[in-house]
């Protein structure tokens, strides 16, 4: 009886070690992150904290590669956030909209199509955030940034992106990049920001890849 008990305990230990090893391979030894876009959360909360370095050591290389492609788009600036795990695109509002208008210009496809391929693949989720200068009352600046963010999101949805993969924010004149003291700085503050975040589908596919490699 004692021998049988020892065998059972030994088997349990082996199973525990095996499970821990698998978790380390897939999740870097920590809890794996579940990616869900939630419009009730703030922009910072949806961007989230960096994934565990071992869990996402491959992700920064992918994000850097995408950034090098997107930086070729005229009129935009490209940044990486969250330890090179998220792409941020800053687009002047004048490149997408006529003054005081919320209907996208016919030329927006030249700017947005390279981004579309990343989101349409299902590998990345998209956050669209609208910003304005302080020309106008707060209700106006908030409304136009809301309409503009929704219009850009609609362009992606009409182009085949799942609605669950996109959320929008409207900040009005609340978060200027520059003081609203000159024509140039006001133009800097009128902008659309796009955030490409790795989707749960991308993380899951990488996990399966790790299993195959091992």
User: Which of 33-37, 48-52, 64-68, 202-206 has the lowest average pLDDT?
Assistant: 33-37
CB–CB of 200/160 below 8 Å?
A: no
80, 143: one domain: yes
207, 104: one domain: yes
2, 89: one domain: no
Bridging pattern class, strands 191-198 and 124-131: antiparallel
52, 110: one domain: yes
CB–CB of 87/63 below 8 Å?
A: yes
pLDDT at 92 over 90: yes
CB–CB of 127/195 below 8 Å?
A: yes
CA distance 86 to 195: 7
Per-residue pLDDT at 206? 80
24, 51: one domain: no
Bridging pattern class, strands 191-198 and 86-92: antiparallel
CA distance 118 to 25: 26
Query: Does residue 36 fall inside a structural domain?
Result: no
Containing structural domain, residue 19: 1-29
14, 48: one domain: no
Query: Does residue 38 fall inside a structural domain?
Result: no
Burial class (CB in 10 A: 0-12, 13-18, 19+), 63: buried
Per-residue pLDDT at 212? 37
24, 101: one domain: no
Convert the pLDDT of each residue in 196-211 to its tens digit.
999 998 988 887 664 3
162, 192: one domain: yes
CA distance 142 to 170: 6
Q: For 57-64, what is the mean pLDDT? A: 91
Per-residue pLDDT at 182? 95
CA distance 93 to 191: 4
Q: For 2-20, what is the mean pLDDT? A: 43
- Structurally, the chain folds into a number of domains equal to 2
User: Which of 26-30, 32-36, 63-67, 142-146 has the lowest average pLDDT?
Assistant: 26-30
What is the pLDDT of the chain when averaged over all its residues?
Answer: 84
pLDDT at 213 over 90: no
CATH number for the domain harbouring residue 58: 3.30.1330.60
The overall longest dimension of the chain from CA atoms, in Å, is: 86
Q: In what order do the strands lie in the sheet with 124-131?
A: 77-81, 86-92, 191-198, 124-131, 166-170
1, 74: one domain: no
3, 94: one domain: no
């Amino acid at each position: 009886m004692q021998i049988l008990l020892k065998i059972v305990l030994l088997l349990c230990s082996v199973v525990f070690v095996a499970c821990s090893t698998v978790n380390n391979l897939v999740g870097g030894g920590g809890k794996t992150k579940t990616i869900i876009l939630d419009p009730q959360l703030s922009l910072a909360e949806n961007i989230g904290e960096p994934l565990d370095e071992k869990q996402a050591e491959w992700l920064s290389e992918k994000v850097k590669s995408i950034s090098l492609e997107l930086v070729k788009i005229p009129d935009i600036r490209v940044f990486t956030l969250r330890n090179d795990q998220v792409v941020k695109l800053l687009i002047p509002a004048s490149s997408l909209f006529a003054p005081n208008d919320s209907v996208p210009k016919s030329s927006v496809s030249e700017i947005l199509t390279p981004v579309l391929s990343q989101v349409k693949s299902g590998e990345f989720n998209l956050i669209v955030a609208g910003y304005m200068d302080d020309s106008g009352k707060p209700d106006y600046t908030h409304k136009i940034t809301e309409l503009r963010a929704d219009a850009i999101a609609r362009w992606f949805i009409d182009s085949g992106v799942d609605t669950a993969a996109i959320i929008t924010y409207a900040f009005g004149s609340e978060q200027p990049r520059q003081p609203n003291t000159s024509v140039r700085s006001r133009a800097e503050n009128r902008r659309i920001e796009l955030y490409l975040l790795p989707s749960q589908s991308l993380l899951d596919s990488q996990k399966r890849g790790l299993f195959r490699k091992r």
